A and B are shown apart, each in its own frame.
Chain A
Amino acid sequence: MASAFSATKIIQPLPLNTTLTRSPENALFHPRKTTPSSFLGTTHKLRLHEPNSARFAKRRSATVVAVSDVVKEKKLKSNTSLSNLLITKEEGLELYEDMVLGRGFEDMCAQMYYRGKMFGFVHLYNGQEAVSTGFIKLLKKEDCVVSTYRDHVHALSKGVPARAVMSELFGKTTGCCRGQGGSMHMFSKEHNLLGGFAFIGEGIPVATGAAFTSKYRREVLKEADCDHVTLAFFGDGTCNNGQFFECLNMAALWKLPIVFVVENNLWAIGMSHLRATSDPEIYKKGPAFGMPGVHVDGMDVLKVREVAKEAISRARRGDGPTLVECETYRFRGHSLADPDELRDPAEKAHYAARDPITGLKNYMIENNLASEAELKAIVKKIEELVENAVEFADESPAPSRSQLLENVFADPRGFGIGADGRYRCEDPKFTEGTAHV
């Protein structure tokens, strides 16, 4: 576990495209620019994207600057004055703690797996923490996150307690899904984590549906404050799947409040992204459907956070979806059963040098946002938290026999349930026309 936190080199810019290559539209995130559309279908007056921009502009009083300018300034200067920094001390500590939690938790999962406490398919998130932290820490509790099988850290960032996730992985009844979901199926209604899907691409339409609900609640059910945003996380392999394109189309068509976050870690099990994709630059697929596509360095949590801020506020305003490609890397194999032989050690070393946690630590220390001691204290705190989670999971009971057949249906008897919660056919009044509908 110590190796994950050892200090390494300072952040170096990648040789690939760095922050914010533009979509063909020039002012990428201009707040008042509506997405231009030469497509006839979108001018149809009956479509869902009502141009109620006036309503949305009133709700967001903070001025939003085009992100490209902000980040360009910050990227070049390493020692800036406090007022020009991207984060405050509190925010920095929050981000650091979240990433350390993600890393510590996943490392503990690996340990537990090799000790036999965890089983089945376990997919770890080491190395990609910047994406989860950068995006999810900007959300409200009511916003939704839909993830893939690599969902432990998304669950943790969204607020699901570590002990609930650990118990779920151990298959105990105190897990967040009572042990019925497992590593790949983390659900939490309270924290609006809508899964946890094993099939790649499966979560994207579900996320689009949650975004659809958010918009429906605002426009049809007239809940004026419902500006909930949905984030869909998925990988580079998924971007070749049909459902991805179907949802890009519908999300842009109906201007749904969703952000499609591609965690491009360049590998799908053993298949390199470059071998599988005709045009490997995923962010370009956004503008093909009429939404901005952004590429960001996913190993740098601050850059991810800046892009995320803009994309999320775009969605909240009602300007529609965004496709964000985060170039990131997973330090471990695809899953704990993957021997990870196909990846070039030089590539792994290159990204290991750009560990997001070390990067943030260096940023905070250089800019005097926190001291080494404070950060060490956070690491210690997280270590204890994770140990507690393991103890809790160990001591929790396995599910009882009766739990096997529970929760198949919300209404197991299968009769129509009336508004009063009783079965409709048992209500003597239902045939008289006076029963409450």
Chain B
Amino acid sequence: MWGIIRQRVACRSIPASILEQSLQRIPIRPVGYALRNYSSTAKEMTVRDALNSALDEEMSADPKVFLMGEEVGEYQGAYKISKGLLEKYGPDRVIDTPITEAGFTGIGVGAAYYGLKPVVEFMTFNFSMQAIDHIINSAAKSNYMSAGQISVPIVFRGPNGAAAGVGAQHSQCYAAWFGSCPGLKVLTPYSSEDARGLLKAAIRDPDPVVFLENELLYGESFPVSAEALDSSFSLPIGKAKIEREGKDVTITAFSKMVGYALQAAEILANEGISAEVINLRSIRPLDRLTINASVRKTNRLVTVEEGFPQHGVGAEICASILEESFEYLDAPVERIAGADVPMPYAANLERMAVPQVEDIVRAAKRTCYRSGSMAATA
């Protein structure tokens, strides 16, 4: 590992070209784009509608795609994501299952083995723990165990992470657990465009994809461009997006935390710190190139996530930065995660257990040596 770093130090020109390459690959929005509802010409769409339209279009494009889960049919979806799909495609393609996660997830995997493209919905990803054997053992590992004979074009989707006041058993974030397993692709959309593009890419992908949505984002509206509304639109899996350009500190986040990071970036901008916000979009494969390029530019990093801190996504990003860009760091990496406790119920406790905008602002200031204390706060 040290040998590699020495080589990197020797070739100073490389960082610039990596940066250029990564900048060219990622569609860059103007800085002000981070603020929503500023343009009257851009169409707005909620994440819920984005997901619904993505499912609708993929189901109409390929008859092998079908949706399976609890309450997806007649109830129109537990969170109304699959609204209208039963009427449009019928009960053969939008299947209400009994409450048997292990059973129906396995059925989805078996259907994918044999040629179909299931979309399995978990009412929340907490319930995926009942089916995790199938997600990992029969879906993720099959392409490898069968040496490429059996690929599993399945999507597992549903809300992930904390909602509001739902207690410990309904609030866990599974990005880190699924992200550590080879054979899975793990996606975490933030905006409507992310939701549309990534879900379409996931459904078309020949590998098992874990698609982690967020319940609190379902109702939020984002502007969508005309190209995002096109039915062939899809986003690449494994590429992060720079939501906001900056030069002083890099903030990585995914899912709901991207919104918080953007708000924090606004606050920091008023204080003279220009933060670059990266929306990870894809936990596995993690876009190490983009993150490293950004850190090499800003020299400081704050990782933000909602899940438990130990062995979390932030830990992996820290390790990646240490391995690849150690000498570029001007300050220790700040890792912001949920509190290391099961999610409490009381509203004020819950607020303390999930990262808030102020936490991100404080951490960014610490990396810029603008605050007094280096000690970690809540």
Q: Which of B113-121, B155-163, B256-264, B323-331 contacts A (4 or more CB under 8 A)?
A: B113-121
Complex Cα distance A437/B61, Å?
A: 7
Evaluate contact between A430 and B233: CB separation under 8 angstroms: yes
Q: A217-B115, A243-B103, A246-B98 are in contact. Are A206 and B110 (CB under 8 A)?
A: yes
Residues of A within 8 A of B91 (CB): 46-48
Residues of B within 8 A of A353 (CB): none
Complex Cα distance A425/B282, Å?
A: 16
Which of B183, B232, B234 is most buried by chain A, counting CB atoms within 10 A of its CB? B232
Please give the distance in Å from B133's CB to the nearest CB on chain A.
6
Complex Cα distance A109/B146, Å?
A: 21
Q: Does B143 contact A (CB under 8 A)?
A: yes
Using an 8 Å CB-CB cutoff, how does the interface string of B181-212 with A read, 1 for contact, 0 for none?
01101000000000000001100111100000
Evaluate contact between B145 and A181: CB separation under 8 angstroms: yes
Evaluate contact between B142 and A187: CB separation under 8 angstroms: yes
Q: Size range of the interface on B?
A: 35 or more
Residues of A within 8 A of B109 (CB): 205-206, 209
Evaluate contact between B93 and A220: CB separation under 8 angstroms: yes
Residues of B within 8 A of A242 (CB): 102
Evaluate contact between B206 and A417: CB separation under 8 angstroms: yes
Residues of A within 8 A of B57 (CB): 437
Using an 8 Å CB-CB cutoff, how does the interface string of B224-241 with A read, 1 for contact, 0 for none?
000100111111111100
Q: Does A197 contact B (CB under 8 A)?
A: yes
Q: Which of A295-303, A342-350, A401-409 contacts B (4 or more CB under 8 A)?
A: A401-409
Residues of A within 8 A of B93 (CB): 220
Given A146, A217, A246, A416, which contacts B102 in the complex, CB threshold below 8 Å?
A246
Residues of A within 8 A of B98 (CB): 246, 249-250, 253
Residues of B within 8 A of A249 (CB): 98, 100, 103
Evaluate contact between A415 and B64: CB separation under 8 angstroms: no
Q: A221-B64, A408-B143, A415-B201 are in contact. Are A424 and B92 (CB under 8 A)?
A: no
Residues of B within 8 A of A123 (CB): none
Q: Does B252 contact A (CB under 8 A)?
A: no
Complex: chain A residue closest to B115, CB-CB: A213
Q: A249-B100, A411-B205, A416-B205 are in contact. Are A423 and B64 (CB under 8 A)?
A: no
Q: Does B336 contact A (CB under 8 A)?
A: no
Evaluate contact between B106 and A243: CB separation under 8 angstroms: yes
Evaluate contact between A411 and B206: CB separation under 8 angstroms: yes
Please give the distance in Å from B220's CB to the nearest CB on chain A.
24
Q: A187-B149, A219-B92, A249-B98 are in contact. Are A437 and B232 (CB under 8 A)?
A: yes
Using an 8 Å CB-CB cutoff, how does the interface string of B13-24 with A read, 1 for contact, 0 for none?
000000000000
Please give the distance in Å from B179's CB to the nearest CB on chain A.
13
Q: List 10 A-B contacts (CB under 8 A).
A: A185-B145, A187-B146, A187-B150, A199-B137, A206-B113, A243-B102, A406-B147, A409-B143, A410-B153, A433-B227
